[in-house]
A and B are shown apart, each in its own frame.
Chain A
Amino acid sequence: MNSSSQSSSRAPERQPQSSTTWLKGSHAPQTAERVLSWGRYPKTEHRQVYKPAWNDQVPEILKAAAPASLLPFGLGRSYGDSCLNAGRDLIDCHRLNRMLGFDESAGVVRCEGGVSLSDILRVFLPKGWFLPVTPGTSFVTVGGAIANDVHGKNHHCAGTFGAHVHQIALYRSDNGLVFCSSRENAEMLRATIGGLGLTGVIAWADIQLKRVDGPWIDSESIPFHGLKTFLDLSHESNDRFEYTVAWLDCFAGRSVRGIFFRGNHAANYRKNFHPKGGPKLPFELPSWILNRFSVRAFNAAYYAIHVAKKRGAIVPYDPFFYPLDSIRQWNLLYGRQGFLQYQCVIPESNLDAFEELLDRIARSGMGSFFVVLKQFGSAPPAGMLSFPRPGLTITLDFAMRGERTLGLLRSLDEVVQKSGGALYPAKDARMSPALFETSFPNWRDFLPYKDPKMSSSFWRRVTGLP
């Protein structure tokens, strides 16, 4: 259905939103609009979704809003409810996607909050610039990347996305357009980085790009057994490789096995690069498709394929950074009930807790389709509520199977809480207020910077505040 042009085949797919209203006549007011996050759980109705096409329309929306009623929304790639505002309003920012300036000598681009990372790559990679930090999908907005202070495979050397934001302009409901940088309103900048959209609407941000030689990554994949081996590999690689990450077969239990990926931008590799579009899942698959046997088989096959593969190769950047972006709407794989992602960080000194975590998952029999493991670096957090901190972070997906899934996740919470770890709000739809408190003990410092007209489902759930 979609055309073959480069721009449309690589364009960010928007979350399908079904309007529940069948109103006759034009411009009838929308009563409720269903907007889902990437996990498609929880199922939320919103009162109204504003879709400004220009930055100059944002102040009117803020002015007219009631206290604690709004939340900016990007491409809906947060997994849980941190990008949702059930029963209240959203400001869908995807049309605010213009690049307003580029300082070529410094490599700094100024773009509106709704510009997607894939858009930045499409424009700037051919000119020899790359994102300073990128998460596992390029279909996120700059605003979302700042609001969640996202991290990537280079966290050990580059820190988080927020560390590369020089300046932002923020629409506040109480103060108009506020400029924030390390020189003015520095605390507001720190609050907005990782601030889950609650400090206002980002009008534009200045992002520091990184010089690269081309779109190619010099990568290696190394099979490993055991957490200890993973850590050795990670320690050894972190000095020599800009990007490191591991995939884990969660069915192996305590005898962990996986594939360690590491890579650098390939220098002086001049092969023609043709970006490819991929298939698209057209609808929700029946939820029985992902069962413990199919997931186990997938994990075994994935492992076997990578063991058989050549260890080193020069690959395009997109399968290296964004393996899942090639299947659009892959989240429909989990069926009608959706899925929950679980990402925690556990201090490295506490490897026992980590093994306990893996053990509980293996014993539950609820395997995760795709498990990712990464050692965070020691860079100081860029934002007040930034998630990354020194330690090991693991990311798991679980199909939503009601109480069975929630029960397992609660039992994982216990381990995280005891170990002094933390949970990632961008992935969460159900953490308890107590675990939020453990994860972000200084969250009350954030309160003075929160915009009084902003709120989110996540915020209300974990803080109990409006």
Chain B
Amino acid sequence: MTNITPVQAPNSAGTPAGSKPARVKKIVILGATSGIVLEVQRQLAPRGCELLLVARSPQRLAALQADLLIRGASRVLTYSADLSSIAQHNGILECACREFRDFDTVLLAYGSMHNQKDSETSVEVLLEELQVDFLSAAAILTLFAAELERRRMGCIAAITSVAGDRGRRFNYVYGSAKGGLSLFLQGLRSRLHPAGVRVITVKPGPVQTPMTDGLPNAALFADPQHVAHDIVGSLERRSPDVLYTPRIWRYIMAAVKLVPETIFKRLPL
């Protein structure tokens, strides 16, 4: 495979003082250049993790690779592929199994959010959003789930959204794709439980990332560092199965789900 670039870490004097001993070891990151996961990777690197980064742009992957190696990652591989294209998924799994053997964690982090108004008028935009946020995600997780189930170990984590907990008029398309993915993960969790494979659903509230730039009140959104800290923590611990981050969203969404539909449909949310 031509687009794999194994690079060893420079011979630095061990891991930096103060960083925790590595418990998360070998992680495949699907969508390595997306907003929240940039910060996750940055917090994983000083723990001495090994990473396989999958994203579209080779240029950006190269910058990320250099950065994470300097920050302490013990090995960083990159693989450039378009994750929304299901035809390319087999290549990704093959690469991971060949070059990144014994990976123990898969983190799915990519997604897209179009202007909701566009997907109300254009079926093309609607389908693209569903393709990226749900179909392709379910497809690639199915491949990796089979591999981990066979090995009877490991962890699958995927970033969905609190928007998937209830359909709202202003972003139900994004919400239904992410909600679908949450349901998919729920079932997958149950299926993989006997095999000892853990499945984590990460549901962030609104976070300050390039995806949410330009949304109203973006200044009030959560800090990506805070969200990443929660995600890294959930990868290292045994619980919870469903991570709301920042934590307050667990309670907000619990309340939102309690509102009866006949009232909810009238709310300008």
Residue ranges of A at the interface with B (Cβ–Cβ < 8 Å)? 2-3, 5-8, 11, 16-19, 21-30, 51, 53-56, 95, 98-102, 104, 109, 112, 123, 126-128, 272-275
7 A-B pairs closest in CB distance: A126-B16, A98-B67, A99-B70, A3-B229, A27-B115, A8-B225, A53-B210
A229, chain B: closest CB distance, angstroms: 40
By the criterion CB–CB under 8 Å, are A99 and B13 in contact? no
Q: Are the CB atoms of B71 and A54 closer together than 8 Å?
A: no
> Shortest Cβ distance from A127 into chain B, in angstroms?
6
A275–B63 contact, CB under 8 A?
Answer: no
Q: Which residue of A lies closest to B118 (CB)?
A: A27
A339 to nearest B CB, angstroms?
Answer: 22
Contact partner of B64 among A16, A29, A98, A109, CB < 8 A? A98
- A51 & B229 in contact (Cβ 8 Å cutoff): no
User: How many Å lie between the Cα of A272 and that of B46 in the bound state?
Assistant: 18
Can you name the residue of chain B whose Cβ is closest to the Cβ of A123? Answer: B71
Q: Which of A21, A23, A29, A274 contacts B18 (CB 8 A)?
A: A274
- How many chain B residues touch A (Cβ–Cβ < 8 Å)? 44
B17 contacts A by Cβ under 8 Å: yes
B10 touches A102 (CB 8 A): yes
Q: How far in angstroms is the closest Cβ of chain A from B116?
A: 6
Alpha-carbon distance between A54 and B13 when the two chains are bound, in angstroms: 30
Q: B43, B70, B113: which contacts A123 (Cβ < 8 A)?
A: B70
Contact (A101, B70) CB under 8 Å given A25-B170, A26-B171, A28-B216: yes
Whether the pair A101, B16 counts as a contact (CB closer than 8 A) is: no
Select A275's contact among B18, B46, B213, beta carbons within 8 Å. Answer: B18
- Bound Cα distance from A104 to B12, whole angstroms: 9
In contact, B219 and A16 (Cβ under 8 angstroms): yes
**Given contact pairs A6-B19, A104-B10, a sample of 17 additional A-B residue pairs in the complex whose CB atoms are under 8 Å apart:** A5-B43, A7-B42, A8-B223, A17-B219, A24-B170, A25-B116, A26-B171, A27-B115, A54-B60, A95-B210, A98-B66, A98-B67, A99-B70, A100-B63, A123-B72, A126-B16, A128-B13
Q: Which of A19, A56, A95 contacts B219 (CB 8 A)?
A: A19
Q: Are B115 and A25 in contact (CB under 8 A)?
A: yes
Q: Any chain A CB within 8 A of the CB of B226?
A: yes
Contacts of A26 in B (CB 8 A): 113, 115-116, 170-171, 214-215
Chain A residues, Cβ within 8 Å of B115: 25-27
State how many angstroms separate the Cβ of A346 from the closest Cβ of chain B.
41
* Residues on the A chain within 8 Å of B268, using CB: 24
Partner pick for A11 among B12, B13, B38, B225, CB 8 A cutoff: B225
Contact at A101–B17, with CB atoms within 8 Å? no
Scan residues 200-230 of chain B and give those whose CB is less than 8 A from a CB of chain A: 210, 213-219, 223, 225-226, 229-230
Interchain CB contact under 8 A, A53 and B35: yes
B18 adjacent to A126 (CB under 8 Å): yes
B226 adjacent to A2 (CB under 8 Å)? yes
**Residue of A at shortest CB range from B13?**
A127
Q: Which residue of B lies closest to A274 (CB)?
A: B18
Residue of A nearest to B117 (CB): A25
Assess whether B216 is in contact with A22, with CB atoms less than 8 Å apart.
yes
Minimum CB–CB distance for A100 against chain B, Å: 5
Residue of B nearest to A3 (CB): B229
Q: Which residue of chain B has its CB nearest to the CB of A18?
A: B219
Q: Which of B70, B216, B223, B230 contacts A23 (CB 8 A)?
A: B216
Distance of A26 Cα from B171 Cα, bound (Å) = 8
**Nearest-Cβ distance from residue A84 to partner chain B, whole angstroms:** 17
Nearest residue in B to A17 (C-beta to C-beta)?
B219
Query: Which chain B residues (138-197) contact chain A, with CB distance < 8 Å?
Result: 170-171
**Chain A CB within 8 A of B3 CB:** no
Cα–Cα, bound, A109→B67 (Å): 11
Indicate if the CB atoms of A99 and B229 lie closer than 8 Å: no
Query: Can you list 25 A-B pairs with a CB-CB distance of less than 8 A?
Result: A3-B226, A5-B43, A6-B18, A7-B229, A8-B229, A18-B219, A19-B217, A22-B216, A25-B116, A29-B214, A30-B214, A51-B210, A53-B35, A53-B210, A54-B33, A56-B57, A98-B66, A99-B66, A99-B67, A102-B70, A126-B17, A128-B13, A273-B17, A273-B18, A274-B18
B 56-86 contacts with A by CB, 8 A: 57, 59-60, 63-64, 66-67, 70-72
Measured between beta carbons, the chain B residues less than 8 angstroms from A275 are 18
Most buried by A among B33, B35, B67: B67
Given known A-B contacts A11-B225, A27-B115, A28-B214, A101 and B66 have beta carbons under 8 A apart:
yes
A109 to B69, CA, bound (A): 13
